[in-house]
Amino acid sequence: MARDETKRRQSPPSFFFARSWGIVLATNYFNDERLRGSRAVAAKHRHRIQYAAFGQLMASFEWCLKDFVAQLVDATDLFDDKVDDAKWIQVEKSGVLASREVFTSAGAVLIHPTQGWHDPNSVNARYVHLFGRALLDKKQSTTLERLWLLRHSVAHNAGYVTNHDAYRMQAPSLSNKAVRIDGEFLNQTWEFLGTVVRNLQRPIGERIVIEWCSRKATGDFSNDEAVYRRLKHVTSAVESRSKSLPHIDERKYHADRAIAAAKP
């Protein structure tokens, strides 16, 4: 849909909600009545489909975290010095050369090839360095680490959890067993990931917009409109798939500038 494509290009948090909820809903089409064979066999088939959905859900989340940074790098030079200092951003010449064949951006070239997005501690360190705020609190970090370990088991071990991964997940009962992914678990995972993605709008997104207003805005909306509008959309988290990105106007611009001016 055109609305989804607009969100993909302009607002990673909003696209996460649209894309990931679609993934969760899609699994509801596969139930015992719709799948052929015995109920036991149908249940096994359904859970295998839900394995794939879980992998896609986690992939959508990872993409959101990376593209949020990439789009902000493209939107403003506010973070250029911090990007330049970031040791985890290392550009490979082969990647730059390959990008000449397709349309891409500086942010995409710099951020999307980077590794380490499955480590909550690394993600927090990156967000603190770039934006001055951690993305996850301690409890969220622990939960997310377990989800990434589970995703590793699904993606690389056919759903079986090794002794080592069961220990790291603090779930010894899963050791050498196939984990069960069902509709309820997918819903719970989506709800949890959504709480993290909302942080990209508030407090992180709000902080970014106010910092830009304080350091970069000229006070002339006609001059600043393009960058301001882009920043507001990148940092928006529209949760309803049927709802468009928010309308950005001069009133909001001056309201944010007033907040920035009032900051000590």
The answer to whether 170 and 164 are in contact (CB under 8 A) is: no
Q: Determine the pLDDT at residue 135.
A: 98
From its phi and psi, is residue 170 left (phi > 0), alpha (psi between -120 and 50) or beta?
left
If phi over 0 gives left and psi between -120 and 50 gives alpha, with beta otherwise, what is residue 104?
beta
Cα 179 to Cα 209: distance, rounded to the nearest angstrom: 42
In 10 A of CB 49, how many CB atoms?
A: 16
With respect to residue 97, please indicate whether it lies within any of the assigned structural domains.
Answer: yes
Average confidence (pLDDT) over 187-194: 97
- Confidence at residue 194, expressed as pLDDT on a 0 to 100 scale: 98
Q: Could you tell me if residue 14 is inside a domain?
A: no
Domain presence at residue 173:
yes
Q: Is residue 146 part of a domain?
A: yes
Judge whether 33 lies within some domain.
yes
CA atoms of 253 and 213, how far apart (whole Å): 8
- Cα distances from 173 to residues 151, 155, 170, 222, 239, in angstroms, run 17, 20, 9, 61, 35
Give per-residue pLDDT as tens, 90-134: 987 777 777 766 678 999 999 999 999 999 999 999 999 999 999
Give phi and psi for 115, each to the nearest 5: -100, 175
Tell me if 195 is assigned to some domain. yes
Mean pLDDT of 242-262: 97
| DSSP per-residue letters across 45-59 | HHHHHHHHHHHHHHH
Over residues 176-180, the mean pLDDT reads: 88
User: Does some domain include residue 141?
Assistant: yes
Q: Tokens in use for 173?
A: 């009962």
Separation between Cα atoms, residue 202 and residue 136, nearest integer Å: 12
- Give, for 161, the enclosing helix (H) or strand (E): strand 160-161
Enclosing domain of residue 153 = 19-201
Which helix or strand (DSSP H or E) is residue 178 part of? strand 177-178
In the chain, the number of structural domains is 1
Confidence (pTM)? 0.93
Residue 69 lies in a domain: yes
